[in-house]
A and B are shown apart, each in its own frame.
Chain A
Amino acid sequence: MIVTMIVIVLALSAMGIFYTQVRSRRNAALQAVRPVDLQAFRTLMDRDDEAFLRGNVSSSRFRRLKRQRVGVMLRYVSRIAGNASAVVRLSESARLSSDPDVAEAAAQVINLATQIRMQCLLAFGKLSLEFVVPSLQLTPAILVPRYQALRENVRLLGTLQTQQLTPNAEAI
């Protein structure tokens, strides 16, 4: 009986997911690329600022301020991720263009946008952890090896599949 219930819940949840996908597809069709203030974003992620706060305010106040900063940064990352998706959608028709130059340029843009999207996922993970534990500073020592492996995969795939479209791997 428990298995039956689980299976029925699975079926109902699937219906719910399909419904949300229909809605989000409709919303995505209307979504345009929104501006991102990269200067402000860089100021927010400045570790020197964070060190200054840590040394000059109480630990409870530091935790509160750090969470606020991380919250705003998450919104920036979310906007960049949304923009990357919008770029993929908007470049899709250009990728199918009969002009090979246009198609190649669109493929490069889509590739780069996909990589940005993957970076956003990593950034989400990192920021979420720092939100939960504000004293945490996830350094490259923890994240870079995984990211390095990802970069190598992208480079390898680029070499194997799209030899002309790979300079983006260098940009990571």
Chain B
Amino acid sequence: MTSLVQFGFLLQLGLVAALLIKRLWRKFPYFSFYAVVSLLHTTSYYVLRQHRGAYFYTYWILESITVLLGLAVVYEIFQHLLAAQPALHKLAKRVFQVAAIALLAAGTTVVYLQWPSGAKSLSSGVFVVEEASRVIEIGLLVFLFLFSSIFGLHWRRYEFGIALGLGIFVAVQLAVVTMNARVGLTVVQTLSFIRIISYSSSLLIWLGYILVPESVAVQAEVPKRAQLEQWNRAMMELINQ
């Protein structure tokens, strides 16, 4: 387990270095900040693990910041995705807002229904709040992928890699956090192991999409504007007939 954490730490260092060297922090400020805070998160584990109280508070403060940054990263990707689609901006922003409000309501419902009572209410309550936040985060990521599928939006390399890595980690984290409060100690250790594996996988995905050059796209002829106008007219006829 320790060697896995160390491997993850090295990958995190690599990610921050790659973002700095490729100057991607200019293009993806929230994601870069997310990567730095995640690195601090792991560093705090090494520095503070002997001091349980300090580590507890540091852990949850940094965890809260990464959850908020995760949401900011989703919005950042959403904006990049729509940069080339002026015709979709207004509609997409409205749909995104509706999705965010619906997911906020879903998150609030989760907190309301899952809120624990009794002696362990504080630590369990923190898990429930994280569970609700992850529901919102994963919901927004799923929305992003579905919306782009429906409208045929083109994902560029970096955006796709960031969204995919974040999505895999958040999905696993959601399942882990949800089960954490309801299972025994042995299972909790297994879940921690799964969480570390998933985060390392996400780090590898991010590094892969940032460092490996994109393969040359298939060269195909782009139709002339007149051809597009013909399709446009045909679709109009179908809609209006």
Contacts and interface: CB of A to CB of B under 8 A. Distances in A.
Given A15-B171, A45-B238, A32 B86 contact: no
Interface string B206-241: 000000000001101111010011111111111111
A116 B145 contact: no
A15 B87 contact: no
Contact of B154 (A47, A92, A165): A92
Nearest to B225: A109
B75 interface: no
B231 A84 contact: yes
Pairs of residues from A and B, 9 with the lowest C-beta to C-beta distance, nearest first: A85-B152, A119-B235, A32-B220, A11-B175, A89-B154, A11-B174, A14-B171, A114-B87, A11-B171
Contacts of A156: 90
A157 B87 CA distance: 7
Given A11-B175, A18-B167, A83-B223, A109 B135 contact: no
B223 A14 contact: no
A82 B28 CA distance: 29
B17 interface: no
Given A89-B154, A108-B225, A114 B88 contact: yes
Interface residues of B, number: 61
Which interface class (under 10, 10 to 19, 20 to 34, 35 or more) fits A?
35 or more
Q: Is the interface of B mostly helix, strand, loop or mixed?
A: helix
26 contacts: A8-B178, A12-B171, A14-B167, A15-B171, A17-B146, A18-B168, A18-B171, A21-B164, A38-B230, A77-B238, A84-B228, A85-B152, A85-B154, A92-B84, A109-B228, A111-B86, A116-B235, A118-B88, A122-B239, A123-B239, A126-B238, A147-B239, A168-B87, A171-B232, A171-B233, A172-B232
Given A33-B221, A144-B240, A77 B235 contact: yes
B77 interface: no
A139 to B, nearest CB: 8
B182 interface: yes
Contacts of B217: 29, 89-90
A10 B138 contact: yes
B150 interface: yes
A119 B91 contact: no
A143 B239 contact: yes
Contact of B218 (A25, A29, A77, A107): A29
A38 B234 contact: yes
A53 interface: no
A90 B110 CA distance: 43
A36 B114 contact: no
B172 interface: yes
A36 B229 CA distance: 13
A87 B223 contact: yes
